[in-house]
Amino acid sequence: MPIGTTYCSNRLKHKTHYPKMVKLIECPRDAMQGLKDFIPTETKATYINQLLKVGFDTIDFGSFVSPKAIPQMRDTAEVLNLLGLSATTSKLLAIVANQRGAEDAAQFEEIAYLGYPFSISETFQLRNTNATIEESLERVEEIQHICNRTGKSLVLYISMGFGNPYGDPWNVDIVQKWVNRLAEMGISIFQLSDTIGVARPESIGYLFSNLIPAYPKLEIGAHFHTTPQSWKEKIVTAYENGCRRFDGAIKGFGGCPMAKDDLTGNMPTENMVYYFNEIQEETCLNLEEFSKSVQMAAQVFPEH
C-alpha cells in the first residue's frame, strides 16, 4: 500500500462472528510516565498533536494522579491546553486513580474517557493504588458516577489480567467474576492488561475465547507488554479469538518496571499496523502521518 494513504478497507473478512473494526489506541502516557528525565510540556504536546493526525481511535495522552507518584504527568492539564483537536477523529483518554483525579479530569470537555487500573491481584492493587480490591471497587463506583454525570466513559483496565508473580489466584473464572461485577455498574469497556508480560498464547486464547462470547455487549480489549520476539503470537492469538481493541506505544516505549525481562515493553504500534495491513484488516490510519509519528518518537525518546 502506498505511503500517504489511509487504510480503511471495506472487506468483510472475519466479520461473520466479530463485526467490530479493529481499534488501535496509542499510549504516549504509558510510554512517558516512567521516565526520570522530565519531557518538556511543549515537546509532549507537539508529539501528541502529531499522533492526533494519524487516525487512532483513542490517544491515552495523560493522567490526573499525584505528581509525587508520577511526576512525569504533572503537566497533563497544560498539555491538554496545547492540543489541536478541531480536525481529529481521535478521542482522548486520561488515567485516574481515585475520585479526586476523576473530578479533575472530568472538568475538561475534551476528554472522552477516564481510565482506571483495577487489579484482580490483591497484592498489586495495594502496591499500585494503595487500596484493597474491595476499596478499589468503591473507587470504581464513584468514578463511574462522575463519568455518568459529566458525559464521560470509563475504561476499566483489568491489570494482572493474565497472571501475577505474587501467587495470588488467577484463572478465567476469576477474571470473569470481576468483569461481571464491574459490568453491573454500567461499565462497558474493559482492557485486559498483561501488566508484567507473562501472557502466552494459551492464556490469551483462553481468556478472549471465553469472555468475548459471554459478554457480546461489552468491548473487551488487550493491553499487552511484550518482548521483541513474542509480540506477534500475542496479537494473532487475541485477534483470532475475537479481540478488536488493542493498546500500543510506538517503538514499544514504556511498560511496567516490574516485568521480569528488561526487554519487555509496551506492544509496538508499528508492529500491529504492519500485521493488520498484512491481513487487510481495517484500521483507518493515515500511514504517512503515522510514519511521521514514528520518526518524531525517536526525538521525543532519544535515549530509550
State the pLDDT at residue 165: 84
Tell me the percentage of the chain whose pLDDT exceeds 90: 78
CB neighbours of residue 217 within 10 Å: 6
Condensed to tens digits (0 to 9), the pLDDT of residues 236-272 reads 999 999 999 999 999 999 876 544 445 578 999 999 9
SS3 7: strand
State the pLDDT at residue 18: 56
Sole residue written with cell 521480569? 260
State the pLDDT at residue 11: 40
Which amino acid is present at 181? Answer: R
Q: Say if residue 29's pLDDT is above 90.
A: yes
Q: Say if residue 303's pLDDT is above 70.
A: no
- Band (pLDDT 50/70/90 cuts) for residue 40 is very high
Q: Which residue has the higher pLDDT, 15 or 96?
A: 96
- Band (pLDDT 50/70/90 cuts) for residue 197 is confident
State the pLDDT at residue 8: 56
Condensed to tens digits (0 to 9), the pLDDT of residues 79-94 reads 999 999 999 999 999 9
Pairing of strands 285-286, 91-96: unpaired
pTM for the full model? Answer: 0.91
Is residue 220 within 8 Å of residue 175, measured between CB atoms?
A: no
Q: Which residue has the higher pLDDT, 40 or 6?
A: 40
The C-alpha cell at 275 is 500485521
State the pLDDT at residue 164: 86
Looking at every residue in the chain, the average pLDDT score rounds to 90
- Band (pLDDT 50/70/90 cuts) for residue 17 is low
Domains, the chain, in order of start with CATH, read: 22-300 (3.20.20.70)
State the pLDDT at residue 131: 85
